[in-house]
Structure 1
Amino acid sequence: MPQITLKIDADTYRGTREGVPNLVQQLLRHDANATFLFSLGPDHTGWALKQVFRPGFFSKVSRTSVVEHYGIKTLMYGTLLPAPDIGKTCAKYMRAVRDAGFECGIHTWDHRVWQDHVRTRDAAWTRETMQRSYARFHDIFGHTPVTHGAAGWQMNDYAFAQLDEFGIAYSSDGRAVLNEDGSLLDFAAGPHRLSSGGKTLSCVQLPTTLPTLDELLGRTINGVVMDASNVAAMLLRLTEQRRDHVFTLHAELEGQKLAPIFEQLLLGWRAQGYDLVSMGEYYQGVKDDVLPILPIVWGELPGRSGDMILQAA
């Protein structure tokens, strides 16, 4: 049976407190599994305002109703309001996810700082930042993390090497390359290992292979404007040709205002014959010894501003 791996990024304080519990209950109702990846340090979402000069930023903001989904208060964290420490104040919400039977892993320490700066930072900064996440995860859950998924699909060579040092066997830090309509440029895209500095890394990468809802909503695709009435059907068309996929969703979006769309996707994927699984379950079926070994590359994807880690062709 083909699988769709549900990878849930919790970026913010509000998303962790409100969106995560909502998603847990929705998944339980559908007997669907997933992996929750947590931001474990301060919420500096307000610093996103510095992105106003990034190409495509205004387009994305206007399409995805950032204020509606994240809330005015969240957009002031780190500027007009103090940045709440997510790991300290939301630990009980994270443990509740584990207690409900879901896999938990590391998203990042400070989502805004990581996404904006990691690509150009050195080994010492990278190691210190990742060690904070690792230690905080252990404090919250009482065990070492088993998986990771990079904030904004942003990494550097030192970060990938650090995953190996931590003993992380599988992670989802990059994206498959997509066409303008969201379909895969390379239908064979999927699990692989990375080569960095002349060395093959051990951690298996499970790239996101489907577009995210915030990359689709508001765009015109094949002459049709994507909105809440048709975006689920569009994504389901992408999964008609059955194969394994990784779908990234966000506690701030699908866990709140976009929950009805996610409901349609859950029902549609079940009807298409998919098993809805965690990253760990997906990884169990991956044969490490036959995976392609690929370089680290960067590029853009339709509907999202800025470069990110992409799976090399």
Structure 2
Amino acid sequence: MPQLALKIDVDTYRGTREGVPPLVDLLRKHQAGATFLWSLGPDHTGRAIKRVFRPGFLQKVSRTSVVEHYGIQTLLYGTLLPGPDIARKCAELMRSVRDAGFEVGIHTYDHVRWQDGVAGADATWTRAEMNKAVEAFKSVFGSTPKTHGAAGWQMNNAAYLHEHDLGLCYASDGRGTHPFIPVVNGERVEVPQLPSTLPTLDELIGVDGLTQDNVHEHILELTANPPPHGHVYTLHSELEGMKWMPTFDRLLAGWRAQGYDLVSTETMFKSLDVATLPAHEVKMDSIPGRSGILAVQGRCVEAPVSISA
């Protein structure tokens, strides 16, 4: 049975409190596994206002109502309102998701700070941000994380290397076509990547006649013929867990009808023969429907040198 892994990015305080519980109920309805990746520090969503100067950002905002999905209060966090500490305020809820049988991992510490800063940051800044997320994760779950999925698919070379230092089993930090071993500065980083293989709802709705009511049909066309390693679909608690939940419900039913086993990224990772995964460079590039550049699976590399364990 082909696998389709569900990766849930939880970006905000509101998305944690209001988006996650309905998603848990919907996943249970469809007997689906999933991986919840948490933002674990302060919600500073309001500071994202500076993205207005990024190419393509206003076009995206015009297609998907930011206020509708995130709410006025969230859009003021970190500017006119103090940003609530998500892990401290929502620890019990986060643990309940784990206790319900879903995989949990790290999305980020401060979502806006990482998404807007990591691409140009040095190794010291990068390690410090990742370490803060790890410590917050441990304070909530009492264990070390096994996986990381970068906020906004934003990465730098130091981040891939530090995933190895942190002892992560695997990660899902970028976009691509199939699982691979990342190559950074000519060296293998032995933390396999399971890239997101499908477009997200906010990249599609409002383009070429796609709406909340019919976008699931387009995505199901993309998944009609399963690739050898299946698919990874990224969703957001603020979107599929709230206003766009009916769309996600239809997607889950459609994927079941196509014969997919709906699983966590951990389940997909455990099904792989890691020793046979190809090595690929990682790069920053643009993709249709999303502003700016993000981490993307690059060219295949023959026999790169492995970094020391």
* TM class by smaller structure: over 0.9
1:44 Cα deviation (Å)? 0.6
SS of the residue corresponding to residue 191 of structure 2 reads strand
| Identity %, equivalent residues | 57
1:197 Cα deviation (Å)? 2.5
1:200 Cα deviation (Å)? 0.8
Describe the superposition over 1:90-123 as per-residue Cα deviations: whole angstroms up to 9, x where unpaired: 1111101001110000000000010001011111
Asked if residue 228 in structure 1 is aligned to residue 212 in structure 2, the reply is yes
For residues 282 and 224 of structure 2, what CA distance do their matches in structure 1 show? 30
SS of the residue corresponding to residue 205 of structure 1 reads coil
- Alignment correspondent of 1:310: 296
**1:233 is matched by which residue type in structure 2?**
E
Describe the superposition over 1:255-277 as per-residue Cα deviations: whole angstroms up to 9, x where unpaired: 00000000000000000000000
- Alignment correspondent of 2:306: none
Asked if residue 274 in structure 1 is aligned to residue 285 in structure 2, the reply is no
**2:22 is matched by which residue type in structure 1?**
N
- Alignment correspondent of 2:202: 214
SS of the residue corresponding to residue 202 of structure 1 reads coil
Match of 1:201 among 176, 182, 189: 189
**2:90 is matched by which residue type in structure 1?**
C
- Alignment correspondent of 1:113: 113
- Alignment correspondent of 1:293: 279
SS of the residue corresponding to residue 143 of structure 1 reads coil
Match of 1:239 among 223, 238, 241: 223
**2:244 is matched by which residue type in structure 1?**
L
1:199 Cα deviation (Å)? 1.9
**2:142 is matched by which residue type in structure 1?**
G
For residues 229 and 11 of structure 1, what CA distance do their matches in structure 2 show? 24
- Alignment correspondent of 1:89: 89
For residues 83 and 138 of structure 1, what CA distance do their matches in structure 2 show? 21
- Alignment correspondent of 2:303: none
- Alignment correspondent of 1:263: 249
Give the alignment of 1:1-313 within 5 angstroms: 1-176=1-176, 189-220=177-208, 225-243=209-227, 244-313=230-299
The answer for unaligned runs of 5 or more in structure 2 is 300-309
For residues 72 and 145 of structure 1, what CA distance do their matches in structure 2 show? 32
SS of the residue corresponding to residue 104 of structure 2 reads strand
**1:311 is matched by which residue type in structure 2?**
Q
Please give the TM-score of this superposition, normalised by the length of structure 2: 0.95
1:21 Cα deviation (Å)? 0.8
For residues 124 and 193 of structure 1, what CA distance do their matches in structure 2 show? 24
1:291 Cα deviation (Å)? 1.1
1:198 Cα deviation (Å)? 2.9
Report how many residues are paired: 297
For residues 88 and 62 of structure 1, what CA distance do their matches in structure 2 show? 34
SS of the residue corresponding to residue 137 of structure 1 reads helix
SS of the residue corresponding to residue 145 of structure 1 reads coil
For residues 303 and 116 of structure 1, what CA distance do their matches in structure 2 show? 18
Please give the TM-score of this superposition, normalised by the length of structure 1: 0.94
Describe the superposition over 1:21-71 as per-residue Cα deviations: whole angstroms up to 9, x where unpaired: 110111011110000000000111001110111111110001011110111
1:229 Cα deviation (Å)? 1.7
- Alignment correspondent of 2:302: none
SS of the residue corresponding to residue 174 of structure 1 reads coil
**1:270 is matched by which residue type in structure 2?**
R
For residues 191 and 226 of structure 2, what CA distance do their matches in structure 1 show? 26
For residues 310 and 128 of structure 1, what CA distance do their matches in structure 2 show? 23
1:237 Cα deviation (Å)? 0.6
**1:217 is matched by which residue type in structure 2?**
I
CA root-mean-square deviation: 0.7
- Alignment correspondent of 1:180: none
Describe the superposition over 1:187-233 as per-residue Cα deviations: whole angstroms up to 9, x where unpaired: xx20001111232101000000000000000011xxxx110121011
For residues 286 and 83 of structure 1, what CA distance do their matches in structure 2 show? 40
**1:190 is matched by which residue type in structure 2?**
H
